[in-house]
Chains A and B, each alone.
Chain A
Amino acid sequence: MKKYLFCTAATLALGLAVAAAPAQAQTKIGVAGPLTGSNAAFGVQLKVGADQAIADINAKGGVLGKKLVEIVQDDACDPKQAVTAANQLVSDGVVMVDGHFCSASSIPASKVYTDNGILEISPGSTNPNYTDDGSAFTFRTCGRDDQQGKVAADYIAKHFKGAKIAVLDDNSTYGKGIADQVRMNLKKLGIPDAYDTSYTAGDKDYSALISRLKQQGITLVYIGGYYADSGLIMRQGAAQGYTPQYFSEDAAVTSALWQVAGPSAEGMLMTFPPPAETGSAAATVVAELKAKNIDPSGYVLYSYATIQAWAEAAKKAHSTKPALVAKELKAGGPWPTVLGPIKFDAKGDVVNAAYAIYKWHDGNYSVFAMN
C-alpha cells in the first residue's frame, strides 16, 4: 500500500512539474550557483541579485517586449552537479545563464553552454582558465585571479616586510588557482613563502595544521579557499592561542565568515573589487535591496550587473539570440550597470577590473586600502 502511495505521489509531482511550464512568450534566464552546500552564502548572494535585476527589468516592460522568467538551478559548487544543472537549463530553453559561482562549476558547465550556443556570464568565477579556455559564449563580470593574486602579493610585499609567510589552499580549482598566483607573484618579488600546503575543503578539524603553522613561527597566513573553511581555521587558531595576520580573497567576502570565525577574524585582510554598493550607479538598487532587508555587499550587485549588461546588449542587438548578444557584448559598450560602466575584452573579461584590500573589523568588512 505504501509503495503505491509513493508511486502515486511521484507521478503527481511529475505531472505538476510539467503543468507548471509557462506557455506565454517569455524570455528565460538561467541562474545557477551553490544554493546548498558549504558555499550556499554565495549562492544566496547570486540569487537575490538576479531576482532584483529581473524584477526591475520586468517592471520596465522586460527585454524587447518580453518578460524575463528566472529558472534557478543549484550546483552546490560540485563539477558534476554543475554539468547536470547546465544541461537542465539548456533543455529548459534559457538564452543566458547568470552563473555559475565557483570556478570548479563554471568551467565544466561552460562546455555544455558552448555546445548548445547559450551565453554564460559568471558574476563570481575568477579562475583565469574560465575565459582563457572559454568560447565566444563565455563572459564574466568579476575580475581574474591573476589580477587578484598580484594585488595580494604586492600588498604583502609592501606592508609585511620580514613576515614569515604560509600560503594555504583548499585544493579546489579556485582556491588552488588563486593561491598559486600569490605564490608565483611572491616569488617574482623575491619573497620566499616559508610553508605551502593544501588542506581538504569541508574538513572540520584543522588543529594539526594550526599547530604546524604555530611551530614554524608563521606570522602571515594566506588562505586560498572558501569562507567556511578559512573561518574555521581562524577560530581553531584562536583556541590554540595562535593569532597571525590572516589574508584571504573574494571567497571570504560574506558576513557568513564572521558567523563562523567570530572575533578571531578581527583584522583579517582580503582582496575584493572596489565596493559597488557605495557607487552612484547602484544607489537606487541598493536602497531597494536594503528596504527588503537584503545586504547588497559581496556578489549581489555583480549578479545584478550580469543580467543588466546582458539586457542592455540584447536591446542593442535587437535580439536575445545568444550568438548575436555575445557579439554585441564584446563589440559594443561600455554597458551601464550598477557596478558602473562595464566593457568586455575579446576573451569576455572585464576591461580594467580593479581590486581593493578589505579588512574585517567587529563583524563588518570595509575597504582598508585601494591598490
Chain B
Amino acid sequence: MAYALQQLVNGITLGMIYGLIAVGYTMVYGIIGMINFAHGDVFMVGAFVGIIVLTALTGVTSVPMGILAALLLSAGVCALYGFSIERVAYRPLRGSFRLAPLISAIGMSILLENYVQTSQGALERAIPVTVPGGIQLMNENGFVVQLSWMQIAIVVVTLVTLAIFTYIVTKTPLGRSMRAVEQDAKMAALLGIDTNRTISYTFIIGSALAAVAGVMFLLYYGVIDFYIGFNAGIKAFTAAVLGGIGSLPGAVLGGLLIGLIEAFWSGYATVAYKDVAVYSILAIVLMFMPTGLLGRNDVEKV
C-alpha cells in the first residue's frame, strides 16, 4: 500500500511536468494548427536562464526571491525567444504547404540545441538541492512514503497555469481572437483581428510557459543539459496527442496518464520497458479515439 502510494506520488509529479510542457504544445497547435517542435528547446533555454539567474543570485538574495527572479527573468527571455522564433522561422512560411513550418520548427530546435551547447558547454550543469525536505505521508514497516515540497509545488504550478490559460483562452478578448484565428484566419482578419499579432501573442505566452516548466524542472531535478528539451519535448508532445491536441485540460490529463503509466509500469513490471508501455497505450487510445481523450473532431472545411 505504501509502495503503491509512493509510485502514485512519483507518477503524478512526473506527469505534471509533462503536462506543463504539453500545455505549450497544445496551445500553439490549437491556434495555428502547427506542431512547434522547437517548444521543447525553448523549455531547455528556460532551464538554462533559470540556472544562470539562480547561480548569480546564490547568497545575494533569499531562496524564494531567487526562485521568483529566475521564473520571471526566464519567462521574459523565453517570451522574446518565442516571438523571434515565430517571426523568423514560421511567419514567412505561413500560407506555404503544411509541412514547411514543421521542417523549419525542427531546424529551429536543432539551432537552439547547438547554440546552447556552444555557448553554455556540453557538460551537465547542476545546482545543489534548492528546496529540501517535505512531508512523510505514511510509514509502513519502515517504508517511508515521501512527498517533497518541490513535488507539491510542481502539481500546484501546473494546475494554476492550466487554470490561468483556460481563463485566457475562454474569457479574454485575446482568447476570443485566438479562437477566431483558429477557426478561420482569413475571416478573422476580415473582421478586424490582427492575426499576426494574435499568433505572436500565442507564441510569447506559450514560450513563457515553457520557461516556467524549465525552471520547475531545474528546481526539481537539479541537473540540466542542452539535450533535455528533446526527451522532455517528445514525451510532452505524446502527452498532448494522448490528451487530444488542441485541448488544454487534455494536455495535463495526457501528461498525468503518461507519468502514471511510467511509474506503475516501472514499479510493478519492468523498468526497462516503460517507454514501450507508454507508446503502446498511446497507440491503443488513438485507435479507438483518433482525436485523443479530450480532443474534438474538426469539422472538415470544404
Known: A209-B266, A235-B223. A262 touches B272 (CB 8 A): no
Q: Is B225 an interface residue (CB 8 A)?
A: yes
Q: Is the CB of B7 within 8 A of A208?
A: yes
Which of B128, B217, B263 contacts A208 (CB under 8 A)?
B263
Q: Is A24 an interface residue (CB 8 A)?
A: no
Which residues of B have CB within 8 Å of A36? 117, 122
Residue of A nearest to B228 (CB): A204
Q: What is the minimal beta-carbon distance from A99 to any residue of chain B, in angstroms?
A: 16
Which stretch (A146-154, A192-200, A274-282, A350-358) binds chain B? Answer: A192-200
Please provide the 9 A-B residue pairs with the shortest distance between their CB atoms, ordered closest to farther.
A208-B266, A40-B122, A207-B10, A36-B122, A198-B272, A208-B263, A197-B271, A215-B3, A211-B6
Which stretch (B51-59, B142-150, B203-211) binds chain A? Answer: B142-150
Q: Is the CB of A205 within 8 A of B14?
A: yes
Known: A199-B272, A204-B231. A262 touches B225 (CB 8 A): no
Q: What is the minimal beta-carbon distance from B224 to any residue of chain A, in angstroms?
A: 9
Q: Is B182 an interface residue (CB 8 A)?
A: no
Q: What is the minimal beta-carbon distance from A250 to any residue of chain B, in angstroms?
A: 18
Q: Is the CB of B266 within 8 A of A204?
A: no
Contact residues of B between 209 and 261, Cβ < 8 Å to A = 217, 221-223, 225, 227-228, 231-232
Which residues of A have CB within 8 Å of B126? 259-260, 262
Q: How far is the CA of A44 from the CA of B123 in the complex (A)?
A: 10
Q: What is the minimal beta-carbon distance from B272 to any residue of chain A, in angstroms?
A: 4
Task: Report, as a range, how many residues of chain B touch the other chain.
Answer: 35 or more
Contact sample, A vs B, 5 pairs, CB 8 Å cutoff: A204-B231, A241-B144, A256-B123, A259-B126, A260-B126
Residue of B nearest to A169 (CB): B272
Q: Is the CB of B124 within 8 A of A256?
A: yes
Q: What is the minimal beta-carbon distance from B188 to any residue of chain A, in angstroms?
A: 29
Which residues of B have CB within 8 Å of A43? 122
Q: Is B175 an interface residue (CB 8 A)?
A: no
Q: What are the interface flags for A136-178 relative to B under an 8 Å C-beta threshold, 1 for contact and 0 otherwise? A: 0000000000000000000000000000000000010000000
Count chain A CB atoms within 10 A of each CB in B10, B123, B143 and give the residue with the most: B123
Q: How far is the CA of A200 from the CA of B232 in the complex (A)?
A: 14
Which residues of A have CB within 8 Å of B267? 208, 211-212
Contact residues of A between 1 and 60, Cβ < 8 Å to B = 35-38, 40-41, 43-44
Q: Is A346 an interface residue (CB 8 A)?
A: no
Which of A199, A207, A214, A260 contacts B263 (CB under 8 A)?
A207
Q: Is B61 an interface residue (CB 8 A)?
A: no
Chain A residues within CB distance 8 Å of chain B: 35-38, 40-41, 43-44, 171, 197-200, 202-205, 207-209, 211-212, 214-215, 228, 231-232, 235-236, 239-241, 256, 259-260, 262
Q: Is the CB of A211 within 8 A of B3?
A: yes
Residue of A nearest to B10 (CB): A207
Which residues of A have CB within 8 Å of B148? 239
Which residues of B have CB within 8 Å of A35? 122
Q: Is the CB of B122 within 8 A of A211?
A: no
Residue of A nearest to B140 (CB): A215
Q: Is the CB of B124 within 8 A of A38?
A: yes
Q: How far is the CA of A204 from the CA of B230 in the complex (A)?
A: 12
Which residues of B have CB within 8 Å of A38? 124, 225, 227
Residue of A nearest to B148 (CB): A239
Q: What is the minimal beta-carbon distance from B144 to any residue of chain A, in angstroms?
A: 6
Q: What is the minimal beta-carbon distance from A247 to any residue of chain B, in angstroms?
A: 18
Which residues of A have CB within 8 Å of B264? 208
Q: What is the minimal beta-carbon distance from A165 to any residue of chain B, in angstroms?
A: 16
Q: What is the minimal beta-carbon distance from A200 to any residue of chain B, in angstroms?
A: 7
Which of B10, B117, B227, B274 contacts A202 (CB under 8 A)?
B227
Which residues of B have CB within 8 Å of A37? 122, 227
Q: Is the CB of B227 within 8 A of A211?
A: no
Which residues of A have CB within 8 Å of B262? 205, 208
Residue of B nearest to A259 (CB): B126
Known interface pairs A204-B217, A228-B223; 12 further A-B residue pairs with C-beta atoms within 8 A, sorted by A's residue number? A40-B123, A198-B272, A199-B272, A204-B231, A205-B221, A208-B11, A208-B267, A212-B271, A215-B3, A228-B124, A231-B223, A240-B146
Which of B10, B128, B217, B263 contacts A262 (CB under 8 A)?
B128
Q: What is the minimal beta-carbon distance from B232 to any residue of chain A, in angstroms?
A: 8
Q: How far is the CA of A37 from the CA of B124 in the complex (A)?
A: 9
Which of A200, A207, A236 contacts B272 (CB under 8 A)?
A200
Q: Is the CB of A212 within 8 A of B146?
A: no
Which residues of A have CB within 8 Å of B122? 35-37, 40, 43
Which residues of B have CB within 8 Å of A202? 227, 231
Q: What is the minimal beta-carbon distance from B247 to any residue of chain A, in angstroms?
A: 25
Q: How far is the CA of A64 from the CA of B129 in the complex (A)?
A: 54
Q: How far is the CA of A240 from the CA of B14 in the complex (A)?
A: 15
Q: Is B198 an interface residue (CB 8 A)?
A: no
Q: Is the CB of A241 within 8 A of B271?
A: no
Q: Is the CB of B270 within 8 A of A197?
A: yes
Residue of B nearest to A35 (CB): B122
Which of A198, A199, A259 contacts B124 (CB under 8 A)?
A259
Contact residues of B between 172 and 191, Cβ < 8 Å to A = none
Which residues of B have CB within 8 Å of A214? 6, 143
Which residues of A have CB within 8 Å of B221? 204-205, 232, 236
